[in-house]
Each structure stands twice: as structure tokens, then as C-alpha cells.
Chains A and B, each alone.
Chain A
Amino acid sequence: MEMIDENKLMQLERKANSPWARLKRNKTAVIGMVIVIAAVCMAIFAPLLAPYDPNAMDISKTFLKPGTPGHILGTDEFGRDLLSRIIYGSRISILVAAGATLVGGTIGIILGIIAGYKEGILDTVIMRFMDGMFAFPFVLLSIVLMTVLGQGLENVIIAIGIANVPGYARIARGQVLVVKGEEYCQAVKSLGASDFHLIFNHIIPNILSPVIVYATMNLAGSIISEATLSFLGLGIQPPTASWGNILRSGRDYLLTSPHIATYSGLAILLAVLGFNLFGDGIRDAFDPKMK
């Protein structure tokens, strides 16, 4: 029997079990990643990919069925090409998802770190407030915030972002508490490190992985939230193309031209599916219990 160098074996094992390698092995996660990348590319390269201007109306070509030459997915009530509108809709979805996650994540993590690090009264006040925010169903909270802020892309991002804050705060705080209790933190502190140094160099790197996992799942939720708000007429207003508002107008023509509602909804489904698969994969890759 051959003798393999034990050290080499350990090195190979460590590499094979790194989060990136584990992610690559997970086939469904890879599919998710592909979808996510496709969606992002669609958003970035929309002008190149879309066959028509999404806002170009043509009253002579309204309600064309899918498969009509020149319009693979058909046209809407103003004769605008559905495929182009859906492609441009991805811009809104990706932008909102990224923006809301950034806004919610940043604010939430900062609050969570403060609460977890300082503890005491500050902790109680912040977390009780977060609990209060958690008491609202996410959609309801976003709806209420939108009513206050008014319509428009920036407000959608802010509203969904704010609704995201409690989740991030809770995760960040929980992780800070865990890391604070670890011995190396106390060791560094006894060496005279400042709070600032401790937070940036030790705490933040160690709370990253659960936060990243949460963020990936959160992206999917943000896409649905934007679509929901637009569907209810509260989010992105026409003529800007958003999957949600296409679905909204598609509803009115469900009997005669179902393709409008069908394909816009399908786009939402695929994007969310992709982010969910990817998020599941990231979560499994970072989970220390799985091998």
C-alpha cells in the first residue's frame, strides 16, 4: 500500500473543504450562481441585449401574441416589446436588491455592533426597537414606509432597506456577543487595544460569514418586495419598466393577453429562484457542520 504524506493529505483536505470548493461542488448552488450572474449581466448590458427601446410605443402593434416575428414574447397594451421591457426590468430588480441590502445591511450591522459591543441600556433600547420593527410583517412595513416616503426608485430602496435593518441588526449583534466572549478578544483587549481597533480588526472579520449568508437570502426577498410594491402601485411607476408594474398592468388584460402577466411573473420567479439556490449554497458552504 502506498504511503501518502500525512501533511499533504491534510493540506488537500483543507483545500477541498474550503467554502469556495464546497460551493462549487454543490450543483444546485452553481445553477443558482449562473442565474444570478445572468440576471446581473442582463441588468448591466440591457441596452445591448434588448431588441427594442422598452418605452417605444407602437399603437398599431398592441397586444401581439408571443411568437410573433420580431417580438418573441409579444407586446403590451402600448405596443411596447415585452422582452425588452422585461430585460430592462432586471435593472430595477437588481438595483433595488443591491441598494436595499446595502442600506439595510450597513445600518443594521452598525446598530447590531453597537448593541452587542456596548450592551447595557444602549443594547436594550436598540434591540427593543428592532423587536418593534420585527412586529410588522415585512411587506406591511415596506408599504407603510412607501406611503410616508412617496414613490420613486430611491424611496423604494430606502423603504425596503429600512425594513431589512432589524434582521441584520439581530444577526450582527448575536455574532458580536459570541466573538466578544472568545478568548482572543479578551487577550487583545488586555494588551491595550482600543475599541476601534478591536471592532475593525477582530470583530468585523468574524461576523462576516453569517452576515453574508443572510445577505444573499435577503437579496431574493428584496426582489420580491420591490415587485410587490410595484404590483400594488406603490413602487416604481410606469412607464419605467419594472417586473412588478408590468405584472400589475398585465392583470387587467389577463383574459385576453395573459402573456404579459405570465412572462413578467416568470422573470421574478426565475430571479428569486436563482438567488435562493445561490443563498442556500452559500449557507451550506459556510456551515461548519457539513462536510
Chain B
Amino acid sequence: MLKYILKRLVEILPTLFVVALITFFVTRIIPGDPASVMLGPQASVEAVEKMRVKLGLNESIPKQFLIYMNDILHGNFGTSFYYNEPVTLLILERFPNTVILAAASMILALLVGIPIGVISATKQYSIFDYVTMVLALIGVSMPIFWLGLMMVLTFSVNLGWLPSTGMGSMSKGIMDVIKHLILPSVCLATIPAAMFARITRSSMLDIIRQDYIKTARAKGLRESVVIWKHAFKNALPPIITVVGIELASLLSGAILTETIFSWPGMGKMVVDAIEKRDYGLVQGSVLFIALIYVITNLIVDILYAVVNPRIRYTKTSERGGGA
């Protein structure tokens, strides 16, 4: 098992390198000179020149890249033009809020999506199955920002039950934060929940047809044991794959959800930074998000191997693996 983990860790190194490369080049292509953007239009030519030296912009591109890589390995993700603070600091302030939102959403999505998928599979063709699958299809087709707005419209504006912006504060008690968390996390959880329901149902349907399910029933096991112990465990691999994909795409969804609900997380920070043309912050945040994405996928891969013992013995290239 350990060997497998080490193997995967080595495999993602080139991917991480490419990520850094892409982020570096993309921001170098952006028109405009970062130094003058930072200092504003009033700055003198000498000040701009000094800033350029400070930012290392007068070096050759390959040298800049080396400086950049060196910075990253030391945890320096650059400086925000707008806030004039290290990006790392800003990330540390805002990332935990995104994690809270993402975690709450993921838990909701799993708790709702997977059982619905299992029940739909066992009751194939029933009304329950039909209704939930239609809802799930609508769920994955919805633009998340529209869902957010509709939720705000219904629950905040028309019904006045829940707040629509901000995170609340712990000083008012944890219930305040939870109240603020409900709408955004339900909104963010909708698409993953729908995806989980669909993939769980599809995977369970495949598994229920298998011979070893016949064997389990022939042993005299109760149907609930047959479904949840024998079938579900085998149905997990594709579900985990989708969970992994959704976990990573929670980051994108968070960007939009945080914007709608003014939730003070990393997503909102990136969007605001783009609007303010704060490329220092954009570059550092984007790199950070990509890194989280890669690491998340790695964790999912490992989980996959824990659940399905056969995977540990096959080569990753045979599975068409990658980030």
C-alpha cells in the first residue's frame, strides 16, 4: 500500500511542474506591465523601474521562471498588487472559509446523493426512481449561479427565513455562522448531489446484476445486507471517481457560490482580484487552487485503491490515469 502511495506521489511531480509552468506563462502574457499597475499611473519612471527590478521583471524569462519556482518552493506565492501583502497571507485568511463551505457542501451532497442513488437502483422503474432521476438531471443542468440567485429570491427575499450574504460571525455564536452557511452550502451541494445520485444508481444497477449478488442472496443474507455490504462496496470505485471529480470542481463552484452569497472565501477573492486587475493575487491564487486540485485527485486515487484491492496491482498507465 505504501509503495502505491509513493508511486503516485512521484507520478504527480511532472504534473505539478506543468501547472507552475502554465501559471507562470499565462500571467507573463497578460498585457500591461505589472510594476506600473502596482504603482498606479502617477508613478515616476524611476519608481516603476525600481519596482521592476524588485519584482525581477528585468531578468530573462527563463531566469524569471527559476526565481518563480524557487519562490514557490519556499512558500512565496507572490504579492498582491491591491493589498500590497504576500499572497500566502491572504490565502491563509480566506482559504479556511472556502474549506468550511466546501466541506459542508460535500457532506450534504454525499448524505443526500448516495442513498438516493442506492434506493433508486433497488427500486428501478418505480415512481421514486423516475422522479429522483429527473430531478438529478435538472440538477446537473443548472447553472449554479442561477440556482444561488433563485434560492436567495425564495428564502431570503420572499420568505425571509435565511440571510443571503456574508458568513456571520462566531462572536454571535455558532448558530449565526450556520444560518449563513445553509443557503450557500445547499446551493453548492446541489450539482454534486445530483451527480452522486446518478452515478451511484448506474453503478449499483451494474453490480446488482452480478453473479456474486446471487450468491450473497443464496447464502440467506437479508436484502439490506446484500445491497449495502456486498453490492455497495463493489459499486464504490466509479462513485469515488465522481466524488473526486466533484470535490475538485467544488472549488470552481465555490468561486461562483461565494460571489453570489458574498461568502468571504478564496473564490470570491479570485473573482474580485480579476476584476481589480490584481494579477499578483490572481497568479498566486490560481496556482494555489491548481495545487489543491492535484492533491485532492491524488487522495481520491489512493482512496480508490483502498476500496478496490485489485487496483493496487495494476499499472496506472493501464487505467488511463493522470490528474
Q: Do any beta carbons of A and B sit within 8 angstroms of each other in the complex?
A: yes
B15 touching A128 by the CB < 8 A rule? yes
Within 8 A of B (CB), among A99-137: 127-137
Please tell me if the beta carbons of B286 and A140 are within 8 angstroms of each other in the complex: yes
B278 → chain A closest CB, angstroms: 11
Find out whether the CB atom of B274 lies under 8 angstroms from the CB atom of A134.
no
In B8-22, the 8 Å CB interface with A consists of 14-19, 21-22
Q: How many A-B residue pairs have CB under 8 A?
A: 132
Task: Collect the chain A residues with CB atoms within 8 Å of residue B138's CB.
Answer: 269, 273
Residues B21 and A269 in contact, CB atoms below 8 Å apart: no
Check if B282 is an interface residue, CB within 8 A of chain A: yes
Find out whether the CB atom of B145 lies under 8 angstroms from the CB atom of A254: no
B5 at the interface (CB under 8 A from A): no
Could you mark each residue 37-49 of chain B with 1 if its beta carbon is under 8 Å from any beta carbon of chain A, else 0?
0000000000000
Interface locus among A54-62, A65-73, A84-92, A230-238: A230-238
**Cβ contact within 8 Å between A138 and B252:** yes
Please provide the chain A residues from 238 to 291 with a CB less than 8 Å away from any CB of chain B in the complex.
Answer: 247, 250-251, 254-255, 258, 261-262, 264-266, 268-269, 272-273, 276-277
Task: Of the listed stretches A2-10, A39-47, A75-83, A143-151, name the one at the interface; the rest are far from the partner chain.
Answer: A143-151
CB proximity of B27 to chain A, nearest CB, Å: 8
Residue from A132, A147, A150, A258 within 8 A of B19 (CB atoms): A132
Check A23 for interface membership: any CB of B closer than 8 A.
no
Taking the closest CB of chain B, its distance from the CB of A271, in whole angstroms, is: 9
Whether A265 pairs with B252 at a CB distance below 8 angstroms is no
Q: Is the CB of B18 within 8 A of A137?
A: no
Does any Cβ of B come within 8 Å of A227's Cβ?
yes
Quick check: is B294 within 8 A (CB to CB) of the other chain?
Answer: yes
Are A143 and B322 closer than 8 Å at their CB atoms? no
A22 within 8 A of B: no
B150 touches A262 (CB 8 A): yes
How many residues on chain A are close to B (CB under 8 Å)? 47
Q: Is the CB of B142 within 8 A of A139?
A: no
Cβ–Cβ contact B19 & A135, under 8 A? yes
A203 within 8 Å of B (CB atoms): no
Count contacts on B: residues with CB < 8 A to the other chain. Answer: 48
Assess whether A174 is interfacial by the CB under 8 Å rule: yes
In contact, B137 and A224 (Cβ under 8 angstroms): no
**Chain A residues, CB < 8 A from B26:** 144-145, 148
Q: Is B167 an interface residue (CB 8 A)?
A: no
Give A269 to B259 CA distance when docked, in angstroms. Answer: 20
A265-B274 in contact (CB<8A): no
Chain B residues 113 to 137 lying within 8 A of chain A, measured CB to CB, are 137
A276 to B22, CA, bound (A): 31
Question: Closest chain A residue to B198 by CB distance?
Answer: A280
| Neighbouring A residues of B259 by C-beta, 8 Å | 232
- Chain A residues with Cβ below 8 Å from B275 are 233
Can you name the residue of chain B whose Cβ is closest to the Cβ of A233?
A: B275
B21 touches A234 (CB 8 A): no
**Residues in A whose Cβ lies below 8 Å from that of B290:** 135-136, 140
* Inter-chain contacts of B294 with A (CB < 8 A): 135
Cβ–Cβ < 8 Å partners of B279 in chain A: 147
Nearest residue (CB) in A for B293 is A135
Report whether A136 and B18 are in contact in the complex, using a CB–CB cutoff of 8 Å.
no
Instruction: Give A28's nearest chain B residue, CB to CB.
Output: B137
Q: Counting CB contacts under 8 A, is A228 at the interface?
A: yes
Known A143-B274, A269-B143, A277-B137; judge A251-B322 contact (CB<8 A). no
Q: How far is the CA of A147 from the CA of B153 in the complex (A)?
A: 31
How many angstroms between the C-alpha atoms of A22 and B286 in the bound complex?
44
Residues of B contacting A266 in the complex (Cβ-Cβ under 8 angstroms): 146
Contacts known (A131-B322, A148-B26, A254-B149); A136 close to B19, Cβ less than 8 A: yes
- Chain A residues contacting B29 (CB-CB under 8 Å) are 148
Instruction: Determine whether B70 belongs to the interface, using a CB cutoff of 8 Å to chain A.
Output: no
A98 within 8 A of B: no
Do the beta carbons of A265 and B149 come within 8 Å of each other? yes
**Chain B residues whose CB sits within 8 angstroms of the CB of A145 once the complex forms:** 26
**A268 close to B252 (CB less than 8 A):** no
Bound CA span A220–B274, Å: 25
**Contacts A261-B146, A276-B140 hold; do A170 and B252 have CB atoms under 8 A apart?**
no
Whether B322 contacts A136 by the Cβ 8 Å rule is no
Say yes or no: B248 contacts A137, CB within 8 Å.
yes
Q: Which residue of A lies closest to B22 (CB)?
A: A132
C-alpha gap A240/B274 in the complex (Å): 22
B18 near A131 with CB under 8 A, answer yes
Most buried by A among B15, B31, B260, B297: B15
Q: Are B153 and A170 in contact (CB under 8 A)?
A: no
**Choice from A137, A170, A254, A272 contacting B141 with Cβ under 8 Å:** A272
Taking CB atoms, residues of chain B closer than 8 Å to A135 are 15-16, 18-19, 290, 293-294, 297, 323
Binding site for B on A (CB under 8 A): 127-140, 143-145, 147-148, 150, 170, 174, 220, 224, 227-228, 231-234, 247, 250-251, 254-255, 258, 261-262, 264-266, 268-269, 272-273, 276-277
Known: A140-B286, A254-B157, A255-B157. 4 other contacts (CB 8 A): A131-B14, A138-B249, A170-B322, A251-B149
Listed from nearest, the 7 A-B pairs whose CB atoms lie closest are: A132-B18, A265-B146, A137-B252, A139-B252, A273-B141, A272-B141, A131-B322
9 contacts between A and B (CB under 8 A): A132-B21, A136-B293, A138-B252, A170-B320, A224-B143, A227-B143, A232-B256, A269-B142, A276-B140
